[in-house]
Amino acid sequence: MEKLKLKLLYADLKSDLEIIEKELEKALNSSSHLLNDASLHLLQAGGKRIRPIFVLLGAKFGDYDIQQVKNVAVPLELIHMASLVHDDVIDNSDMRRGRETVKAQWNNRVAMYTGDFIFARALTYMTELDNQRLHQILAHTMVEICNGEVIQIEDKFIVDQSLKDYFRRIKRKTALLISSSCELGAVAAGATEKDARHLRRFGYFVGMSFQIIDDILDIMATDEELGKPAGSDLLQGNITLPILLALQDEAVRPYIEKVVAHEQLSEEDRQAMLKKLRKSPAIAEAKKVSDKYLQKALREIEQLPKHPTRKKLRDIALFMGKRKF
Amino acid sequence: MEKLKLKLLYADLKSDLEIIEKELEKALNSSSHLLNDASLHLLQAGGKRIRPIFVLLGAKFGDYDIQQVKNVAVPLELIHMASLVHDDVIDNSDMRRGRETVKAQWNNRVAMYTGDFIFARALTYMTELDNQRLHQILAHTMVEICNGEVIQIEDKFIVDQSLKDYFRRIKRKTALLISSSCELGAVAAGATEKDARHLRRFGYFVGMSFQIIDDILDIMATDEELGKPAGSDLLQGNITLPILLALQDEAVRPYIEKVVAHEQLSEEDRQAMLKKLRKSPAIAEAKKVSDKYLQKALREIEQLPKHPTRKKLRDIALFMGKRKF
């Protein structure tokens, strides 16, 4: 049912999302064949364009004008795309959404400068904006994403970390981009400061909820659904919430300790670990935390003025916080 | 003698350069130990802060105010520093100015995100600028540097390239940053459009002349002077002007062809190649090209209003275009 609502949401925004998609294509055009190939590869990998959707929805609380709104949606999505390419280098990921990553299809260097190129293009778009507040949000987002890269590496393979460390990481990795999306849309469309603030907080809570679900799915979903081996997060040394919670589980703990000690995990071991993990109470506990964030997000919506878009925000929040994969 | 003049120039600008240095330190401060270490490593490697000097000199043609001028000098130097860290990944360089590079002391990933972090900090500074022209110059510079990274990789190990390809590369790699430095200083200080244009062109020509000399010195200077093995450019596949010209020299060509065919060059071979290269007429020809650019730079100075800074621009141009290493 949630999926159906999302489809309706997409149908409503379809033509505006197409305008953004066209602009993204234009932005990634380059005189270099190699760069065009890598960018095209990224564009085709697509994704759900969740961030542009939030920008559009945020803008509905002001004077909605797609031509204005696209000028913040495009640089924000570019920043997101660039950070994904660089993330794959940091995580040494060969697959993303069932496709080879840029670093896998080419190599780390190509991924590095493809990301640089996309960051630079985002910047070019940003210079066209004449509202300094929009600049500041975008620049702050970019800075925090880069800081997030660092923290993510520093925290890798470290089991002796607090939940706070985890929350700090996913805030920068995911929640900030969604919260900035909502706020940028609102500010670009001239919404009130109060509404922009509620939208920002809404985006933050949705983002936190979404990332926790993502981290749970990395364990619960099948390799096929994920487009990469289940359990990849842990294998790459990323200690997620369900993993942190599963450290209390005697049946799972030995596997986690093996991985963080950089011992090779056989395919058999991975399967055995997943079996234990999937039955661990850690999964339900993590879901509870995600739900708490989702509820907070829904409460922010209540603070917004009555407007048909409120229901859409609710639908997308529920979809993102409840999805099965 | 040129060196003495440069020393006097530094003495004049010393206190303002110290203000910029302090601001760079502040900009690179981070909550991450790893990032602080890598940034400190870069700051200590220092360099001559050529770009900030050009910003300061450009600003002398307007209402010079160091507090304003530093706001463009800092992001520009940050963009330069970030691009160096990423360049070392692309060139697989372990040494720069006699020190280990970030990628050598840590690894490619750390170098990638250290660069990202510094780019992001540059961006934070840029958002504080209220003159859109300054933004556009900085963003354009960043975009072109990133484009330059790509072109540099695409042109690697390819001997079948024209002089135009080489000039296009060094424009983005070096000349653009110097030309932007001069222009940014001028625009930030409110110089006339005409003066800003002459300063930009001056910087471009100086930058071209400087990079050609740099490429010659990679062959002519000793390992000790360079702080890395002489001939590194070619060994990394970077086809520079003296190399392109030396392809006409039967005594040298076989060595170049061996390198671009990715054959291992023994230390003995490297020494033999350097010996031939250093005696090749290609060196004098390359110097001539550099000189031509230098003369063009000097002619731009003549177009600027009479001002004591004109002599300083001349001194620094001559120093950069004539230096022995």
Average pLDDT, chain B: 90
pLDDT category, B42, cuts 50, 70, 90? confident
Strands (E), B139-226: none
Note whether B203 and B320 are within 8 A (CB). no
Structural domain boundaries enclosing B32:
2-322
Residues B165, B207 contacting (CB under 8 angstroms):
no
Phi-psi region of B129 (alpha: psi -120 to 50; beta: other; left: phi over 0): beta
Residue B325 pLDDT class (50, 70, 90 cuts): low
CATH number of domain containing B94: 1.10.600.10
Rounded mean pLDDT, A164-192: 96
Cβ atoms within 10 Å of A131's Cβ, excluding its own: 15
Q: Are B183 and B293 in contact (CB under 8 A)?
A: no
Q: Which residues pair with A99 in a beta bridge?
A: A96
Give buried/exposed letters for A70-100 (b at 16+ CB in 10 A, else e).
bbbbbbbbbbbbbbbbbbbbbbebebbeebe
Q: In angstroms, what is the C-alpha Rg of chain A?
A: 20
Q: Does residue A249 contact residue A166 with C-beta atoms inside 8 Å? A: no
Does the pLDDT value for residue A94 go beyond 90?
Answer: no
Could you read off the pLDDT of B111-160 as tens digits, one per residue?
888 898 898 888 888 878 888 899 889 988 988 888 788 788 888 889 99
CA distances for A215 relative to A153, A295, B31, angstroms = 17, 19, 26
Q: What pLDDT score was predicted for residue B1?
A: 53
Q: Residue range A45-57: average pLDDT?
A: 89
CB contact under 8 A, B89 and A108: yes
Helices A132-154 and A163-170, axial angle in degrees (round to 10): 140
**Min CA distance, A200 vs chain B (Å)?**
20
- List residues of chain A with CB under 8 Å from any CB of chain B: 30-35, 86, 89-90, 108-110, 112-113, 115-117, 119-121, 123-124, 126-127, 130, 132, 135-136, 139-140, 142-143, 145-147, 149-151, 153-154
Q: What is the Cα Rg of chain B in Å?
A: 20
Two structure tokens written together for A173: 């990795």
CA distance A240 to chain B (A): 20
Percent of chain B with pLDDT over 70: 98
Q: How many domains does chain B have?
A: 1
Nearest CA in chain A to B83: A116
- Count Cβ atoms below 10 Å from residue B160 Cβ, excluding itself: 8
Angle made by CA atoms B124, B129, B131, in degrees to the nearest 5: 145
Each as own residue / partner, the long-range contacts of residues A305-314 (CB below 8 Å, 24 or more positions apart, any chain) are A305/A61, A305/A195, A307/A60, A307/A61, A309/A57, A309/A60, A309/A61, A312/A9, A312/A12, A312/A57, A313/A57, A313/A202
The answer to whether A153 contacts B34, with C-beta atoms less than 8 Å apart, is yes
CA A3 to chain CA centroid, nearest Å: 19
- Which residues does residue A262 pair with via DSSP β-bridges, in sequence order? none
Please report the pLDDT score of residue B127 as a whole number.
78
CB of B45 closer than 8 Å to CB of B183: no
What interface predicted TM-score (ipTM) does this complex get?
0.74
The predicted-structure confidence for A147-165, as pLDDT tens digits, reads as follows 787 788 888 889 899 999 9
Q: Does residue A110 or residue A181 have the better pLDDT?
A: A181
Beta carbons of A108 and B112 less than 8 Å apart: yes
- Mean of pLDDT values over B9-33: 90
Distance from CA of A112 to the nearest CA of B (A): 7
CB contact under 8 Å between A140 and B124, yes or no, is: yes
Query: Does residue A47 register a pLDDT over 80?
Result: no
**Which of B109, B134, B141, B142 to mutate to test binding with chain A, by most A CBs within 10 Å of its CB?**
B109
**CA of A88 to nearest chain B CA: how many angstroms apart?**
10
Q: What value does the mean pLDDT take over residues A173-183?
A: 96
DSSP SS3 for B64: coil
Residue environment code for B287-313, b if the CB has 16+ CB neighbours within 10 A, otherwise e = bebbeebbebbbebbeebeeeebbebb
A20 pLDDT above the threshold of 80: yes
- The predicted structure's pLDDT at residue B2: 62
Chain B closest-CA separation from residue A15 CA (Å): 30
Cβ atoms within 10 A of the Cβ of B316, count?
A: 22
Mean pLDDT of B276-287: 96
Min distance A25 CA to chain B CA atoms (Å): 17
Burial of B250 (0-12, 13-18, 19+ CB in 10 A): exposed
Q: List residues of B whose CB lies inside 8 A of any A CB.
A: 30-35, 86, 89-90, 108-110, 112-113, 115-117, 119-121, 123-124, 126-127, 130, 132, 135-136, 139-140, 142-143, 145-147, 149-151, 153-154
Residues, chain A: 325
Better-scored residue on pLDDT, A226 or A107: A226
Confidence tier at A325 by pLDDT (50, 70, 90): low
Question: Between A23 and A148, where is the model more confident?
Answer: A23
Question: Please, are residues A147 and B117 in contact by the beta-carbon 8 Å criterion?
Answer: yes
CB burial of residue B8 (10 Å; 0-12, 13-18, 19+): exposed
Residues B194-235 have pLDDT tens digits of 999 999 999 999 999 999 999 999 999 999 988 889 999 999
Q: How far apart are CA B325 and CA B320, in angstroms?
A: 10
* 3-state SS class at B75: helix
Q: Identify the residue among A85, A138, A149 best suited for mutation to test binding to B, counting B beta carbons within 10 A and taking the highest.
A: A149
Residue B119 to residue A146, Cβ atoms within 8 A: yes
> Which residues does chain A have within 8 Å of residue B34's beta carbon, measured at their own beta carbons?
150, 153-154
